Amino acid sequence: MLLSIYQAILLRYPHFYTSFALGSWLVLDFIDYKLNRYSILGYFFQHKHRYAFWLFLTTTTVMCFIVDYLWGVHVVGMWEWIHYKPIHFVRMYVVMNASFILGMYELFRVVRTILKNNFHFDDISLIKFQFHDGNRGRFYIYCLLFGIIGLIVPGYVLIFNTTLFIEYAMLFPFVSLILISDSITYLTGGKPIIDDIVHLKKLDFISLIATSLSAAVVTEILNLFGNEWRYVAMPLSSFSIMGIPIAVFIGWIPLVTGSVAIVNMVKHLDYKIVTK
Give pLDDT, residue 96.
Answer: 97
Range of weakest confidence among 82-86, 179-183, 192-196: 192-196
Considering only residues 161 and 105, tell me which one the structure prediction assigns the higher pLDDT. 105
* Cα 231 → chain centroid: 18
Banded model confidence at residue 136, pLDDT cuts 50, 70, 90: confident
> Are 245 and 237 contacting, i.e. CB atoms less than 8 angstroms apart?
yes
Give pLDDT, residue 245.
Answer: 92
Give pLDDT, residue 179.
Answer: 97
Amino acid letter for position 67:
V
What's the chain's length in residues? 276
Whether pTM > 0.85 for this model: the answer is yes
Residue 13 has pLDDT above 80, yes or no: yes
Give pLDDT, residue 276.
Answer: 60
**Of 92, 110, 118, 116, which is closest to residue 29 (Cα–Cα)?**
110
Residue 191 has pLDDT above 70, yes or no: yes
Q: Please give the Cα distance from 263 to 261 (Å, whole number).
A: 6
Banded model confidence at residue 135, pLDDT cuts 50, 70, 90: confident
pLDDT digits (tens, 9 = 90+) for 207-262: 999 999 999 999 999 999 999 999 998 888 788 998 899 999 999 999 999 999 99
Within 10 angstroms of residue 106's Cβ, the number of other Cβ atoms is: 27
